[in-house]
Structure 1
Amino acid sequence: MELIPNDYIEFLYWLKTETESFWSKKPKDSANEYICNEWMYDAKWIGMTENEIETVQDKYSIVFTPEHKDFLRILHTIDRKTRRPSQVGEYVERPFFLNWLTDDLEIKNKINFPYNTIIKEAMTFGYWLENSWGPKPETLDERERQFNERYKTAPELVPIRGHRFQVADMSLEKRPILSVLGFDIVLYGVDFRDFLLHELADELDIYHIEYDEDGEPYWNVNEGYERYFNVFDKEKIKSVPFWRDFIR
């Protein structure tokens, strides 16, 4: 018997049930070793309707992949923002996952974020992928022209949360999720299921405390779950135009 469903739709509902169950345990009262943050207590997912998804696609001139649509319909985001302490001692609120119905400014910023941050590093700091793109042009104008020509070949990136984006190329069998911050681009999942499992691993009650040889405690995944958290296979993204050149 599979601990985590293989079927994608079943997996999304499993993820919904498991995360909401984990968040339903009040941190101060829970006897569990592994607990959620106080601000996350009793959080609930808020899915989107088909009409809402279509409206969002029209509004932002984007196209969600089928697996992204399924995620939005069943999960989408939670009923609150994340809370993180700031340097001045107060809390900063950020979207858990993008709320496509309310986070308008954040969404508009993220849609243009990959291009804006990559072109900035190419023009300002001279970053250039010479192994893939050839010698770096000497003039800024020519560098910008060549970069823009290459970027036209890049499959669209659709934002998910933070710096995470899906390669929304319908011709690909596997549409990976990337973390994009300028030229610093990291594979975060070979597909949406892989990404969600790793991204939400800390929101699942699947950890226990173990101790190293020095007696220091650390969290380890429960028996049977290890095989679901394999190292990402970068070979699977060799067919992804443009973006594959950044992955090391």
Structure 2
Amino acid sequence: MYQEIIDKMKEKDVIFSSGLNEIDLRKIQQIYEIMLPEELIEFYSLALPVSMGFYNWKDFSLSNIEHIKSAIKRPEKDLIELVDEIYWCDDWGEEPLDENEKTEIINNLIKKAPKLIPIFKHRYLPFYADNKSNPVFSIHGTDVIYYGDGLLSYLQIEFGSKNYDEIDYSMIPHVPFWSDLL
């Protein structure tokens, strides 16, 4: 399923290393305290993109671990810093006027939200086990959009074999908290 997009990405000069194996996956889970979604495991087991902008999950050097941990925490950190700019979702209840109270509510929502896995720059795939396939989010500060209705769709859009306006929004399942930010 992913071989065609890997070939397309190579044509765009994306550099790949060998794919992740079971040992790599266990180390990733232990170090980052995350689970990779099945679709990402399927893709990364074939080949791991490591060009600039991608995250090299096989590099277990301290500096790279810190780089990836920072990328994992970035959306949460940015939202807390920009809490007054968040579009308040009706499902969260009445929007508090007090910034500290608003920050506390957002912090609690983030703690319950699915973890985001960085894929490329500020593109993230949530790990949400209730969904067979999850959308890819582009998250930059409080600017949150869908950038694909699944991993394959996202890769096709990012690397030129599909147009952004071809995203099938009807196929996108709701992801707690993250979809509320749209």
TM-score normalised by length of structure 1: 0.64
What SS does structure 1 have at the residue aligned with 2:97? Answer: coil
Identical counterparts, % of pairs = 24
Q: Which runs of 4+ in 1 moved over 4 A?
A: none
User: Does 2:121 correspond to 1:162?
Assistant: yes
Matches within 5 A, 1:1-248: 8=1, 12-20=2-10, 22=11, 40=13, 44-46=15-17, 47-78=19-50, 81=51, 95-102=52-59, 103-122=64-83, 125-201=84-160, 229=163, 231-247=166-182
How far the C-alpha of 1:126 sits from its partner, in A, is: 4.6
Question: Contact (CA 8 Å) 1:76, 1:97: kept in 2 or not?
Answer: no
The residue type paired with residue 233 of structure 1 is D
1:145–1:14: structure 2 CA closer, same or farther, 3 Å change rule? Answer: same
The residue type paired with residue 231 of structure 1 is E
What SS does structure 1 have at the residue aligned with 2:112? Answer: coil
1:24-61 alpha-carbon deviations (Å, 9 max, x no partner): xxxxxxxxxxxx5xxx4xx6421222211221121111
1:135-179 alpha-carbon deviations (Å, 9 max, x no partner): 321222211222222223312111111111101101113211101
Count of matched residue positions in the alignment of Structure 1 and Structure 2: 176
How far the C-alpha of 1:77 sits from its partner, in A, is: 1.3
Question: Contact (CA 8 Å) 1:174, 1:191: kept in 2 or not?
Answer: yes
The residue type paired with residue 69 of structure 2 is K
What SS does structure 2 have at the residue aligned with 1:198? Answer: helix
How far the C-alpha of 1:110 sits from its partner, in A, is: 0.7
TM-score normalised by length of structure 2: 0.84
Distance 2:27 2:173 in 1: 33
Distance 2:31 2:67 in 1: 14
The residue type paired with residue 95 of structure 2 is K
Q: Which has the higher contact order (CA 8 A, sep 6+)?
A: 2
Question: Contact (CA 8 Å) 1:159, 1:165: kept in 2 or not?
Answer: yes
Question: Contact (CA 8 Å) 1:158, 1:165: kept in 2 or not?
Answer: yes
Greater shift, 228-237 or 67-76, is seen at: 228-237
Computed over aligned residues only, the root mean square deviation of the Cα atoms, in angstroms, reads 2.2
Which one has the largest radius of gyration? Answer: 1
How far the C-alpha of 1:68 sits from its partner, in A, is: 0.6
The residue type paired with residue 127 of structure 2 is A
Distance 2:15 2:133 in 1: 29
The residue type paired with residue 23 of structure 2 is N
Gaps of at least 5 residues in structure 1 are 1-7, 23-35, 82-94, 205-227
